[in-house]
Amino acid sequence: MATWDRFLTETDKAVLARSGHGINLEMGTRPALLVIDVSYAFTGHVDEPITESVKTWYNSCGSYGWAAIPYIQQLLTAARSRNLPIFYSTGFEPRPDGFGEGLWRTARQGEPPRVPGYGPQEIVREIAPQERDIVLYKRSPSVLFDTPLKTYLRDADADTLIVCGTTTCGCVRATVVDAFSHGINTVVAEEACFDRFEASHAMALFDMNAKYADVLSTQTIVDHIATLPADQFAGMIAPASAKEGDR
């Protein structure tokens, strides 16, 4: 059962069955993986219920985020086993005066949390980028807006973008819609995405699957990656096993 099924009415289901929405495409043979904004600002520094986590980290998704971490780890392990390009995104550390934040200045709900040893924009250590991975810093919801991601995908000749991370209804969806607009085939890992609101998480997945991407189980994506050769990005992305002197 898909995450969104319990939110659909009988009329919704009837329309879905007749309209042709949500028909899956084939995954490509040269995918890249994108992990969106899985930083402590969105998970909190410990796994605890969201109602507790937001007391310290006002943007946190709490345990919803931590529940997705093992699935993200599965995707990363699979991608690294085939030396696929791996991208992460996170935000810039804001200036004290807020300059450069654009409309985020009015959208923010509080002061940036300060927990010793944990930066709000620091990617969660359990899925930390490795040396070969590329971290993209963004100021807008979409990772494709005003970053070099599209250029990197073109240079790697990637034919599919596998997406996971947070928030499902925000930066994940914005990135997926932009990818669709740029003609980039996109796959979303269902269990590896998370949000702070259950309903918006479920319906964002539904909308993306119906219109802009294929929302597939993490296991389905991992199984597909396992069928791919490990050397097709040779000369473009340094193998995960490469030593510093080999690069």
Say which CATH number the domain at 118 has. 3.40.50.850
> Which range of residues forms the domain containing residue 71?
28-232
**pLDDT exceeds cutoff 70 at 94:** no
**Domain-located, residue 216:** yes
Contact 156, 133 (CB under 8 A): no
Q: Give the predicted TM-score (pTM) of the model.
A: 0.90
26: confidence class by pLDDT, cuts 50, 70, 90 = confident
Residue 103 reports pLDDT greater than 90: no
Task: Give the C-alpha separation, 65 to 44, whole Å.
Answer: 9
Residue 243 lies in a domain: no
Residue 105, pLDDT score: 56
Distance CA 7, CA 22 (A): 16
Furthest CA-CA distance within the chain? 61
Residue 13: inside a domain, yes or no? no
Tell me, yes or no, whether 15 lies in a domain: no
pLDDT of residue 245: 34
pLDDT in tens, 106-140: 555 555 667 899 999 999 999 999 999 999 999 89
- Which residues have C-beta within 8 Å of that of residue 244, sequence separation ≥ 6? none
Average pLDDT over the chain reads 89
Let me know if residue 22 belongs to a domain: no
Residue 151 has pLDDT above 90, yes or no: yes
Q: Specify the number of domains making up the chain.
A: 1
Instruction: Answer yes or no: is 19 within a domain.
Output: no
Output the pLDDT for position 235: 81
Whether residue 167 lies inside any domain: the answer is: yes
Residue 195 lies in a domain: yes
The yes-or-no verdict on residue 225 having pLDDT over 80 is yes
